[in-house]
Amino acid sequence: MRLKKVCGRCLNRFIFLRLLKIYKKINKFCDVISYFSTRDWQFTNKNVQDLWQKLDEDDRKLFDFNISELDWDKYFYTYVRGIRLYLLKDDTSTIPQAIARYKRYVARFRHCKQQIRGKNAVCKHFPFTSNLLLVTSRYLLQRMPSYC
């Protein structure tokens, strides 16, 4: 029983040190993007909409740039595959291995998330960053599996 406690403490210490490094990077990133995330930005596409309205039917078929008809799921699926293939130079034959690796990461992350929720030292000393990590992870876990 005593060995389990010692191993548990070592594991918690190891997880704490690894997460501390990640938290420092997250905080630095938050400082970097704070200018863009704390201001109100408004973009319009009125000129594009006006141009679309002025096109006749033949030109609309030839220059199809109507965003309202875009299939976003198909777009992001193709986008992520294109990044893998052309930007990262990753062959498509490695996708099953990547999915298996992704599932392992998700399992490890869920374990770490349970540790964070378990009121351990990370939550006590870094409440803001642990909540930020939980929100970020929830967002990624909900959206990434369908595009990998």
pTM, full prediction = 0.39
pLDDT of residue 6 exceeding 70, the answer is: no
Mean pLDDT for 103-123 is 66
With pLDDT > 70 as the criterion, what percentage of the chain qualifies? 66
Kindly list the domain boundaries of the chain, sorted by start residue.
2-143
CB 120 within 8 A of CB 11: no
As a three-state string, the secondary structure of the chain is CHHHHHHHHHHHHHHHHHHHHHHHHHHHHHHHHHHHHCCCCCCCCHHHHHHHHHCCHHHHHHCCCCHHHCCHHHHHHHHHHHHHHHHCCCCHHHHHHHHHHHHHHHHHHHHHHHHHHCCCHHHHHCHHHHHHHHHHHHHHHHHCCCCC
| Residue 115, pLDDT score | 65
Mean pLDDT for 48-61 is 90
CB 26 within 8 A of CB 133: yes
Q: Give the tokens for residue 65.
A: 């740039």
When mean pLDDT is compared across 9-18, 32-41, 114-123, the lowest value belongs to 114-123
pLDDT of residue 136 exceeding 70, the answer is: no
pLDDT of residue 124 exceeding 60, the answer is: no
| Residue 125, pLDDT score | 44
Mean pLDDT for 9-24 is 73
pLDDT band at 58 (very low <50, low <70, confident <90, very high): very high
pLDDT of residue 7 exceeding 60, the answer is: no
